[in-house]
Amino acid sequence: MGFTSWESYCQAEFGISRAQAYRLLDVARALAAIHGAVNAGTEMSRTQRPGNRGRTTACPSAP
């Protein structure tokens, strides 16, 4: 790669600072976590009961 530091790589390749690169990496990790949670939640919501035909309720006693 030929770069002497992470900062010089970020600047040369993307035109951003080292701090901005770390912020973008943090956002990417957060989005990956959200994506994983959404995918896991689509299998069966904690508030969704079998036979409820896709409707969810806020609490088990709700009609």
Contact by Cβ (8 Å): 48, 59: no
Spatial neighbors of 45 by CB under 8 A, at least 6 apart, are: 56
Domain extents in the chain: 6-41
> What pTM was estimated for this model as a whole?
0.58
Segment 10-34, tens digit of pLDDT: 999 999 999 999 999 999 999 999 9
Statement: residue 46 has pLDDT above 60: no
Statement: residue 60 has pLDDT above 60: no
